Chain A
Amino acid sequence: MLALKEVGKTYPNGVHALERFSAEIAPGEIIAIIGGSGCGKSTLLRAIAGLDHASTGSVTLDNAVITSPHAKIGIIFQEPRLLPWLSVADNIGFGLADLPAEARRARVVAALARVGLADKAAAWPRELSGGQAQRVAIARALVPQPEVLLLDEPFSALDAFTRRDLQDHLLDLWADTRPTLILVTHDVDEAVVLADRVLVMRPRPGRLFEEITINLARPRDRKSELFDTFKRRVLTALDRSLDRSVRDVTDKSSAGEAMWW
């Protein structure tokens, strides 16, 4: 269980990026965090990753307080951030340095095959397309088998087709070990296609605005009417989150409830 308790962040320059964000996230759950720019979504993700300290509140994973990067928490950034001097295989095995060579080799080979890049093992990162590079980044993050995988707008730099392809691929990989996924995105479609719950944030300072449960069976049909309904719902929440006249409430809602718009 990943617990965020009143997490707040004020940067040294005085910017109040995040305020009293609380959420409990069950193992294996997929959470999408969505919101306008400056709503603190990346700040929140970095606090969960242990890359930045929260100014107030706490992040705990199975009762262990997270203050620095943790073995059970992996992260995928917006850019692949592959190490250009390592081959694709070496990049994927980067986090496995503690393993004996044979075990590492086996894990890397399996991961390469799993993301469909077995033929690129010896390639340099510069020889990969954007989508392939992000696949390698996903494999690198998943290969140490984290319990929580954080994704910071992982597909936003990719074209629409590659993005869709990788979203499906991510779900496929998630099904292997079912880690908790927390995905920061600004793509409503992506949030609805992937997440069990969408957390809508509002900016200045970043706060949780509304929580929308997406109880749609997987695989989700992007063209179905129900899918559209959920998308509209998230969009409406986003619009309301930017409207300063709307009071700051945390609505819990699910598909069965009355459609208030």
Chain B
Amino acid sequence: MKDIFDKRTVLVSGKGGVGKTTVAAAFSRAAAAAGKRVLATEVAYETDSPTPLADLLGVKHATDDPQRVSDNLSMALLTPHAGHLHFLRDALPMRMLADAAMKSAAIRRFLLAAPSLAEMGLLYRMLNLLRRTRSDGSFEFDVLVIDLPATGHALGLAQVPSAILKVITRGPVYDAVKDGLAMMRDPLRTGTLLVTLPETLPTSEAIELARGIATHHVPLAGIVVNRVPHNPFSPAERAVVDALALDPQRTLGARTLPRLDRARESLARIESELGRPPMILPEIIDEAQVEARVFAAITALAGAA
């Protein structure tokens, strides 16, 4: 995990409700604190979609254009619309024609109605942001952090280019998608952080997703298990509690016991099935403290050899 701050793109992926956005925000802050110029992004299909990452980073009105959050850290929405517009501007000889095209009802409706063209727009916008340079020729952003939507997870984004390449066999879309695919598959430039919870089903899904990502050659940087509960009991103490044979559905306190067991099993299963230990983020009950604690944990993990 030490070299994760050296990637150009970090995809943060996972099912809904696992704390993916918290991890993306804390990771962005940690990389910025380590001296990287970071652009934190989240995918927004519609202009009025909720923007949880922007909320966490304190950006009131997130837009397609990067906005400064703090030293080294900026934030932008990743929208298909921005991708389509930049794409048309790059592909067409005149900017006017691109703007006219985006105003054409037929083209706009086509771009909205056709499946996967939205993802193509996202991919194009991603490349576009990665390639931006400053006046001295260096990249404007060293690292692009992408908080992926729960369904358009890393696997979905990896499938889109190969599907598009089947339909479109030449031209600028073909070139852009090929570049995007090459970048996403390069372990030196791209890393995926899979976020999951220490519960049976999310763990199975994360293992499945890790394997799916591998079949699409998208590099996995690490599995982050979030909200791991603290187990207060020594084995001897636990034996005493188990001897009470409390009904976990009906007894206060006992409802937590099976959860502690599932967490232990989940961590062991990830390590044995994927051959590497997961990164553990402890459960924090006080909502106000979550971000600072996750930030500290990620900084520590990235600093570890």
A-B interaction: no
